[in-house]
């Protein structure tokens, strides 16, 4: 975002000088709304143009976040058979059974469904930037969907959530997924 001083007003009254600067802000009006590279250097370059795209410092978990993730992982594995069952239960509301104190999905997942949820462990992003995950119930992480399929799913969901054309977004597949059993992408979006 570039800002340019357009005029300055100086008030002087009773020996007190007050200066007011008026700026005009120029925003990059080209919306991204697409897949981006997960490469660190590429993210750093994109962050220079789009303030809301995470750079390398924003995607690295803090020590506190690592501890939180570890505790949460222990909680999940104490209560569900695995992370896949946790996501299918909590995000997709699949029917679960319990065996030896662990929840598991009863039956077979027979169809592909999508779920757009706020990340349980969002990156350290600037105010106003949202970090969501787009999950698929059927396919694993190594399934390739076309960029247009993912773009359209995100666009349709955000249209319903915040209104048509009142947002921008970018997404990528994490090169080191923590839950490879289910297809998912990291989504970053802002409301305009």
Task: Tell me the C-alpha to C-alpha distance, in Å, between residue 84 and each of 68, 79, 103, 133, 181.
Answer: 19, 12, 11, 14, 6
DSSP 48: H
Cα end-to-end span (Å), the chain: 14
pLDDT tens digits, residue range 173-184? 999 998 999 999
pLDDT in tens, 138-170: 999 999 999 999 999 999 999 999 999 899 999
Residue 4's pLDDT band, with cuts at 50, 70 and 90, is: very low
pLDDT for the residue numbered 95:
95
pLDDT, residue 79, reads 98
The radius of gyration of the chain from alpha carbons, rounded to an integer in Å, stands at 22
| Strand 184-191 to 129-136 pairing | antiparallel
| Joined tokens for residue 89 | 């239960």
pLDDT of residue 30: 80
Average pLDDT value over all residues in the chain:
88
For tokens 């955000």, name the residue: 158
pLDDT of residue 20: 56
Nearest to 179 by CA among 76, 94, 93: 76
Give pLDDT tens digits for 60-117.
888 999 999 999 999 999 999 999 999 999 999 999 999 999 999 998 999 999 999 9
pLDDT for residue 124 = 94
Q: Give 43-54 pLDDT, tens digit per residue.
A: 999 999 999 999
Amino acid 29: pLDDT? 54
- Sort 168 into a burial class: Cβ within 10 Å, 0-12 / 13-18 / 19+: buried
Per-residue pLDDT at 165? 87
């Amino acid at each position: 975002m570039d800002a340019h001083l357009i005029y300055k007003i100086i008030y002087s009254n009773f020996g007190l000088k007050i200066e007011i600067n008026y700026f005009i802000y120029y925003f990059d009006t080209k919306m991204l709304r697409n897949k981006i590279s997960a490469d660190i250097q590429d993210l750093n370059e994109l962050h220079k143009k789009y303030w809301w795209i995470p750079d390398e410092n924003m995607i690295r978990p803090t020590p506190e976040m690592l501890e939180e993730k570890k505790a949460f992982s222990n909680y999940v594995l104490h209560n569900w058979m695995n992370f896949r069952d946790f996501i299918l239960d909590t995000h997709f509301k699949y029917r679960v059974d319990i065996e030896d104190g662990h929840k598991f999905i009863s039956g077979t997942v027979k169809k592909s469904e999508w779920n757009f949820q706020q990340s349980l462990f969002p990156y350290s992003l600037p105010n106003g930037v949202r970090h969501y995950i787009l999950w698929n119930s059927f396919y694993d992480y190594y399934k390739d969907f076309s960029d247009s399929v993912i773009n359209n799913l995100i666009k349709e969901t955000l249209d319903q959530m915040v209104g048509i054309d009142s947002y921008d977004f970018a997404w990528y597949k994490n090169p080191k997924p923590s839950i490879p059993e289910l297809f998912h992408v990291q989504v970053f979006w802002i409301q305009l």
